[in-house]
Structure 1
Amino acid sequence: MCLLSVQFGLQPTLTKTFTPDGVCRSTVVLVQEGLKFCFAYIMLRISGAKQSAVVGWTPNQWIRVAFLPAALYALQNMAALQAYQHLDSLTFNVLNQTKTLSAAMCCYLVMGKRQSFMQIFSLILLLLSALTMEGLVPLESLMFRSSNVSTSQVDWNSTHWSNGVAPILLASFISGLSGALSQRNLQSSGGGRNPYLFSMELCSASILILGSSLVFSNDGKRVTEDGFWAGWVPQLWIPITTNAIGGIIVGLVTKYAGSVRKGFALIFGIFLSGVVQAMLDQSHGVSREQVAGGVLAGVSLWIHATHPYQSKKLKNA
């Protein structure tokens, strides 16, 4: 949980600092997925579950279970990488938590999983935190004061919105949908699928999909003309490695600590990203809107994690 908080809080800063603007995003995501595959394989070997994990495994099962979520994850990673480069750490992490809203909606549509009244309230609070941080809901209105600020003052054509806010909201929605599909596929396969094996399946499918897309995309033309490593710098391996390790840590925390404690780890990660931003960007620091949005997001995650839905049978038991 401590590692997850640190990785979650520092990842936006590391990515924005060490990722060159001109680097080909497809090559970054490809290498990141390959590195994540290696880490998952190492953890599978260390856990001693390699033999039991592959019993009954078939290519058809891999295609059925992993390819659609992998395609969504690949698109999510591309959008998130663009947002990393155009948003500050605190804004990225708070807006990224809107994936809780999309996950709840998609889990209900895909799997029929319901939310409690308090969880629905927390999701509305989470949406309010994002709107407050972006100035769409004036901070004064939360304090029940009159305000002359209107949403018409928001520059919708700015690169902050087109290259930052829009990509991270897209990535968050895709994260909820792909997570719901992955959960359904895991449960439909008997619930005993090894998480490291599933990570390897997702990574290998993502690599195949992204590699094939290079044949038709502008990134593929750039790789052909300038080479695969065009625009790369040695420091770029720092955010790639931490992001790959973070994917493994999330799986471990979810499995052994549970989603409630994972929510607390993410709350501390939001706080940490705000502290880091205030220390590194002393000229701008952290605005009142960002503080309010971060607090609302933290409260939302706490409410959602501590008030799970209970069926009427459990309530009456």
Structure 2
Amino acid sequence: MAVTKPKGKGSSAPTSQTSNSRLWFYSLLLTLQYGAQPLISKRFIRQEVIVTSSVLACEIIKVIFALILIVRDGGLRRLFKEWTLAGSLITSGLPAAIYALQNSLLQISYKNLDSLTFSMLNQTKLFFTALFTYIILRQKQSIQQIGALFLLIMAAVLLSIGEGSSKGSTSSNPDQILFYGIIPIMVASVLSGLASALCQWASQVKKHTSYMMTLEMSTIGSLCLLASTYKSPDGEAIRQHGFLYGWTPLTLIPVISNALGGILVGLITSYAGGVRKGFVIVSALLVTAFLQFIFDGKPTSLYCAVALLLVICSISIYQRYPYRVKRKES
């Protein structure tokens, strides 16, 4: 018996090390994508581009990527042999519909907020992810983590007040900033937290693979978007001007980048859970601020600087003081 224990430890160590290496690699890629996405979207997606067309194109590209990755892993036949419509709707149906709506709201917000403001407000999704993870999975938070999440909300409120009264944003109309910039991204953050908790439930409880969930969710999300075009203003615009109205070859860059980000989010959620992406978010904020200064020459305002400090402190505290289960002494 004593001889078998070292073998068990030796066999599990490489697996754990490989998982950690993959998690760091995926996190690095997501950090770069997440930080650069607001800038490349603002530059390469013109105002004339119909929001539904860009979101639908992103979902289709995610389906293609997911199929390629499933085939590469050699699990296509096995996954589809085990696939059922009822199981797919239970695990992926609701998150897919939520993410489809969230992506549409994000596309609206992209065009009405500067890149750093967008990224910082987008961080409130961490609070809602923690909230819905507790409700759905009963995953508790430590006192320090709860305090850190409130710091995050304070940063978002501070930034909202600052941007609402600022004249240095992408639009000089405060009402447009509020109703077409701040409110859409805050609603999207709530939806993102709910969808992330549901995806974590499907991955950890229902043992659904990341690639299969991406394939299912993108397919269902695409169908929801197509159904919405029958009555929506975007659907009317597509029928009048065409699906690719306002597109240029460069429009594919942010669309493909966004699709790759969706794949990476699914992988990190399956490896580490929805809330444990805090260090990715902090790094992405710094990447966004750095790129915005380099390419736009725009220094951060006082509101942004204070809010950025709160965000960094919040997520640093959240990662440093995880909830620990107290063992009862026998």
When normalised by structure 2's length, the TM-score is 0.83
**Number of the residue aligned with 2:61:** 35
Check whether the contact 1:90–1:294 (CA below 8 A) recurs between aligned residues: no
Equivalent pair of 1:53/1:194 in contact (CA under 8 Å): no
Does 1:194 find its partner at 2:209?
Answer: yes
Does the C-alpha gap of structure 1 residues 74 and 316 become closer, same or farther in structure 2, counting only changes over 3 Å? farther
SS of residue in 1 equivalent to 2:161: coil
Distance 1:316 1:127, change over 3 A: farther
1:12-51 residue pairs with structure 2 within 5 A?
12-51=38-77
Shift of the 59–242 alpha-carbon distance from structure 1 to 2, 3 Å rule, reads same
The structural deviation recorded for 1:258 is 6.8
Seen in structure 2, the aligned counterparts of structure 1 residues 255 and 183 have a Cα distance that, compared at 3 Å, is closer
How has the CA–CA distance of structure 1 residues 279 and 86 changed in structure 2, closer, same or farther, with 3 Å as cutoff?
same
Aligned mate of 1:158, from 175, 184, 204: 175
Q: How much identity, in percent, do the aligned residues show? A: 35
Distance 1:238 1:40, change over 3 A: same
Q: 2:200 matched to which residue of 1? A: 183
Gaps of 5+ in 1: 138-148, 150-154
> Deviations for 1:277-306, whole angstroms, at most 9, x for unmatched residues?
112222x42112212211211221122123
Q: Which residue, out of 100, 109, 112, partners 1:83?
A: 109
Shift in Å, 1:183:
2.3
Q: Is 1:210–2:210 an aligned residue pair? A: no
Given candidates 102, 109, 117, the residue that maps to 2:135 is 109
Q: Which runs of 5 or more residues in structure 2 are unaligned?
A: 1-26, 166-171
Contact 2:203 2:210 in 1 (8 A): no
The aligned counterpart of 2:279 is 264
DSSP-derived class of the 1:33 partner = helix
Q: Which residue of 1 aligns with 2:306?
A: 292
- 1:258 & 1:113 partners in 2: Cα distance? 10
Number of equivalences: 297
- Give the aligned residue type for 1:204: T
Deviates more, 1:221-230 or 1:254-263: 254-263
Q: Give me the CA root mean square deviation.
A: 2.3
> For residues 248 and 213 of structure 1, what CA distance do their matches in structure 2 show?
24
1:310 is matched with which residue? 324
Distance 2:276 2:72 in 1: 25
3-state SS in 1 of match to 2:31:
helix
**Counterparts in 2 of 1:236 and 1:156: CA distance versus 1, 3 Å:** closer
Q: Deviations over 1:47-85 (max 9, x none)?
A: 223233334211222122222111110110000111111
1:241 aligned to which of 241, 256, 261: 256
